[in-house]
Amino acid sequence: MSAAPITGGDVPALPRGVRLQFNQVRGQWFLQGPERVFEPDEIAVEILKRIDGVRTVDAIARELAVEFAAPEAEIAVDVAAFVAELLAIRMLERREAGP
């Protein structure tokens, strides 16, 4: 059974045991989870920095569009795809949107 598609109103969050950490020695960001480590590229890091369990996918896309002067609709598609990939491998989870 596959998960529901990502929508702009979804709130991604790092689950327990997963963290984004900067390694000073290597000058590199890492997404660390139980028994796995990923080296996200610069774009992925910008998305991951905004995943706080409060912001929606749309809010993250809006912030990135403003910061990088890019079309919000295109950014939203990329953010949703990235979130979906990390949800599939359990490096992210969905949370309920707040009021």
| Tally of CA atoms within 13 A in the half-sphere of 73 that contains its CB | 0
pLDDT in tens, the chain (99 residues): 456 889 999 999 999 999 999 999 999 999 999 999 999 999 999 999 999 999 999 999 999 999 999 999 999 999 999 999 999 999 999 987 766
Q: What is the CATH number of the domain that holds 45?
A: 1.10.10.1150
Q: What are the angstrom distances between the C-alpha of 85 and each of 19, 24, 29, 67, 89?
A: 16, 27, 18, 23, 7
- Asked, for residue 5, whether it belongs to a domain, the answer is no
Domain that holds residue 26: 12-91
Residue 85 lies in a domain: yes
Domains in the chain, number: 1
pLDDT at 2: 56
Tell me, what's the pLDDT at 98? 67
pTM: 0.91
Contact 16, 65 (CB under 8 A): no
* Helix then strand then coil, % of the chain, to nearest 5: 40, 20, 40
Assess if residue 30 is contained within a domain.
yes
Give a yes or no: residue 34 inside a domain.
yes
In a domain, 43, yes or no: yes
Supply the pLDDT for residue 1.
Answer: 44
